[in-house]
Amino acid sequence: MSCQERHHFYLYSPAGGKGLNDYFLSRLPGVKPVSLEVFEEYRKQFDDLGELNPDYHGFKTLVEKYILLLTGRDDQPCGYCVYGAEKAGLIGIDIILVKKELRRKGYGRTILGYLEQSCPPGTVFYVDHVTSAGRKFFVSCGFARDVDLFKVLSAHNRICAWTAAPVKAVPACV
- What are 78's strand-pairing partners? none
Calpha distance 54→52 (Å, rounded)? 6
Residue 122 sits at the vertex; the CA angle it makes with 117 and 124, to the nearest 5 degrees, is 80
pTM for this one?
Answer: 0.76
3-state secondary structure of 67: strand
Q: What is the pLDDT of residues 101-126, one digit of tens each?
A: 999 999 999 999 999 988 888 888 88
Q: Across-strand partners of 32?
A: 10
**Residue 170: is its pLDDT beyond 60?**
no
> Where do the domains of the chain lie?
3-147
- Count of residues making up the chain: 174
pLDDT, position 37: 94
Superfamily (CATH) of domain 3-147: Gcn5-related N-acetyltransferase (GNAT) (3.40.630.30)
In this predicted model, which residue has the larger pLDDT, 19 or 39? 39
